[in-house]
Chains A and B, each alone.
Chain A
């Protein structure tokens, strides 16, 4: 049985195609103005790379902020449930997921089946979301995807005293003017952001076996800073952390289609 998951987020859209416990294909695109177009493009790319057509998919589950605009989704699930399920499918021992998206951050605690027990999230304040790093990268004139690498050579990270994105942006401009080294500024930004996300996670109590999902998890500097802020080693995922929501949706589509409540990794 082939199933799919489609995660239409605020900045990107993701699709995953799953067959017999294997990821056949995945695709990540920048979101288009209409969520429906984002969904079609994300899924179209994934189908093309798997050499399949829509007719081959038994069931597709939608998730993400644009989930109700996905024309080909048979059902929808919250991103929180999908991130939990996707992470647990890849790493059965995982009990906590920290997901940092483009416009939000979530901390999710899971049971042994990947069901959500508790969660906390922030989408009210841009600080502590992917947007913080995006804006700072823009202010520093550095590509967002280079931020992680740049921070690794920092010897003396700066302290960012402002939490607010707007005020922190002004603060880093004065740090640049003061002649502070770019790696130290970037590392300081990662620390500041990690601190915000760590307090979110602590709000629901940390569990053993924590992993990080969402686009920001690709940033190695941020990954390291979050480990430091939490005082816990994070387990890295072996697939693109950005597709975990879509992956979880595909796993749930399989469960739905099989009519079974559960079903573990590779069981079908």
Chain B
């Protein structure tokens, strides 16, 4: 039985195709302002990667901020439940999922079956969301990947005193004007980001195992700063952390089909 999950986020749209045992294919595209178009595009790509057609998909679950506008889904589930489910499917020992998206951040406590116990979310303030890193990367003339990688080369420990993205931008400009190295500035940005996320993570408690999902989980600078701040090892997932929401949606789709056939 083949099922799919589609996660329509604010910045990217993701699709995962799943059979009983494994991921057959996945795809990521940039979101357009028409969620239905983004969903169709990403699903076509994921199907092509799996050598399948839409007729092969028995059931599809939608999630993400544009989930109500996906034409081919049979059911929608919240991103929080999907991230928990997806992370748990890959790593059954996971109890805390930290998901950092383009415009929000969530800390989710998960039970042994991958169900959500409690969660905290920030979507009010850009600090501590992917948007913070995006703004800073643009300001520094770096890609998001470069911003993450540069942390490794940092020497001098610079501080960003401001939480607010707007004020922190002024601090980064100040460091750039003072000819501080981009690696040191990048590290300060990643550390500041981790500082905000840590506050949210501590509020749900950081029961082991801890993992990170969402695009920001590709940023090694943020991960290592967060590990230091929380005093825990953050387990790496064996899939692209950006597709975990879509994966969880696909797992929900499969559970739904199994429930229906029973």
Question: In the complex, what's the smallest C-beta–C-beta distance from B217 to chain A, in angstroms?
Answer: 21
Contact of A166 among B33, B126, B162 (CB under 8 A): B126
Contact of A126 among B103, B132, B135, B164 (CB under 8 A): B164
Q: When the two chains form their complex, are residues A166 and B131 in contact, meaning their CB atoms are under 8 A apart?
A: yes
Contact of B126 among A124, A135, A164, A174 (CB under 8 A): A164
Q: When the two chains form their complex, are residues B124 and A163 in contact, meaning their CB atoms are under 8 A apart?
A: yes
Bound complex: CA A10 to CA B95 (Å): 46
In the complex, what residues of B have CB within 8 A of residue A162's CB?
124
Interface residues of B in 111-166 (CB under 8 A from A): 124-126, 131-132, 135, 162-166
Q: When the two chains form their complex, are residues B103 and A125 in contact, meaning their CB atoms are under 8 A apart?
A: no
Q: Is the interface of B mostly helix, strand, loop or mixed?
A: loop
In the complex, what residues of B have CB within 8 A of residue A163's CB?
124-125
Q: When the two chains form their complex, are residues B124 and A131 in contact, meaning their CB atoms are under 8 A apart?
A: no
Q: When the two chains form their complex, are residues B164 and A125 in contact, meaning their CB atoms are under 8 A apart?
A: yes
Bound complex: CA A126 to CA B168 (Å): 10
Interface residues of A in 160-211 (CB under 8 A from B): 162-167, 174
Q: How many inter-chain contacts with C-beta < 8 Å in the A-B complex?
A: 36
Q: When the two chains form their complex, are residues B124 and A126 in contact, meaning their CB atoms are under 8 A apart?
A: no
Question: In the complex, what's the smallest C-beta–C-beta distance from B124 to chain A, in angstroms?
Answer: 6
Closest to A123 in B: B167
Q: When the two chains form their complex, are residues A164 and B167 in contact, meaning their CB atoms are under 8 A apart?
A: no
In the complex, what residues of A have CB within 8 A of residue B135's CB?
166
Bound complex: CA A109 to CA B168 (Å): 30
Interface residues of B in 80-118 (CB under 8 A from A): 103
In the complex, what residues of A have CB within 8 A of residue B124's CB?
162-164, 167
Contact of A165 among B162, B163, B165 (CB under 8 A): B165
Bound complex: CA A21 to CA B131 (Å): 52
Question: In the complex, what's the smallest C-beta–C-beta distance from A156 to chain B, in angstroms?
Answer: 23
Q: When the two chains form their complex, are residues A167 and B103 in contact, meaning their CB atoms are under 8 A apart?
A: yes
Interface residues of A in 1-54 (CB under 8 A from B): none
Bound complex: CA A166 to CA B129 (Å): 11
Other than A124-B164, A126-B166, give 13 A-B pairs with Cβ distance below 8 A: A124-B167, A135-B166, A163-B124, A164-B125, A164-B126, A164-B165, A165-B126, A165-B166, A166-B126, A166-B131, A166-B166, A167-B124, A167-B126
Which 10 residue pairs are nearest across A and B when measured between Cβ atoms?
A: A126-B166, A166-B126, A166-B165, A164-B125, A125-B164, A164-B126, A165-B166, A126-B164, A166-B131, A167-B126
